Amino acid sequence: MIQISNLGHKIGGTQILHDISTSFPKGKLTALIGPNGAGKSTLLRLVGRLEPLQQGAITVAGHDVARTPTADLARVMAILGQQTAVASRLRLCELVAFGRWPHHQGRPRPEDRTKVAQAIDAFALSKLKNRFLDEVSGGQAQRAHIAMAFAQDTEWLLLDEPLNNLDMAHARALMARLRDLVDRQGRSVGLVVHEINYAAAWADHVIAMKDGRIMAEGTPDDVLTEAVLSDLYDAPISVGRHKDRPLVLHHA
């Protein structure tokens, strides 16, 4: 479980998060939703120790994020922030292989090579694996980064807007892959998504945020309702059903 208590955060004098206490359940797929600027990414980045903690406490599977050495945390959780332009010229297979680095510190074992091969395979990168990062499309580079986090093979996997740049087929493939990770391997996943229907279709647990506060949390059926969503986005939103899951529509 990821336990977040009394978390506050300021960036340049502006309060981004207000006294947040919540948890990401173990063995579930948790989706963070909410309008732009709600603080979703900041929350995920704080959990993934990509930003220093200012106020409050976070534990990931019992490890205090503020005090546990970063190298140890890298074996408990993999985090992928939003991708910025990459200046590095690595081959995709080399990038994915770095996902195993927290486990072998430069001396890969056969098991590490297997995991890298599996990750390359799982994200359909076999044909691209010898291309350089600056020679593939944004979506392909994105998939390679996700494959790297996947190869890290940790109890927790945290992804900040992983669906950016991905077409519908690859987005669905990624969600199915994450689902499989949770259902069959007992891993836990947390991700920020913008397209709510991905949360509706695949998540176990949804946390809805607005203005640095948590508006609602619970199962997709509890959170993805017309009342909550219309309030969350300040826009009339209607919710139908499809295959026994909520279907969120913006053309009310």
Q: Which residues bind other proteins (CB under 8 A)?
A: 48-50, 70-75, 78-81, 84-91, 94-95, 98-99, 101-102, 106, 132, 134, 145, 148-149, 152
**Residue nearer to other proteins on the CB measure, 14 or 84:** 84
| Min dist. Cβ of residue 89 to other proteins (A) | 4
Task: Identify whether the C-beta of residue 132 lies closer than 8 Å to the C-beta of residue 91.
Answer: yes
Question: What amino acid occupies position 126?
Answer: S
**Residue nearer to other proteins on the CB measure, 57 or 90:** 90
| Min dist. Cβ of residue 56 to other proteins (A) | 19
| Min dist. Cβ of residue 39 to other proteins (A) | 18
| Min dist. Cβ of residue 8 to other proteins (A) | 21
**Residue nearer to other proteins on the CB measure, 84 or 243:** 84
Task: Output the six-digit token pair for 176.
Answer: 């199915």
Cα–Cα dist 70/246, whole Å: 39
| Min dist. Cβ of residue 113 to other proteins (A) | 15
> How is 103-138 classified by DSSP, letter by letter?
HHTT---HHHHHHHHHHHHHTT-GGGTTSBGGGS-H
Strand order in the sheet with 55-60: 14-24, 2-11, 55-60, 63-64
Cα–Cα dist 135/245, whole Å: 39
Q: Beta strands 188-192 and 156-160: pairing type?
A: parallel
| Min dist. Cβ of residue 187 to other proteins (A) | 16
CB proximity list for 208: less than 8 A, separation 6 or greater:
33, 34, 214, 215, 216, 217, 223, 228, 229, 232
3-state secondary structure of 214: strand
**Residue nearer to other proteins on the CB measure, 99 or 246:** 99
Cα–Cα dist 246/249, whole Å: 10
**Residue nearer to other proteins on the CB measure, 14 or 70:** 70
Task: Identify whether the C-beta of residue 72 lies closer than 8 Å to the C-beta of residue 25.
Answer: no
**Residue nearer to other proteins on the CB measure, 98 or 252:** 98
| Min dist. Cβ of residue 36 to other proteins (A) | 20
**Residue nearer to other proteins on the CB measure, 135 or 222:** 135
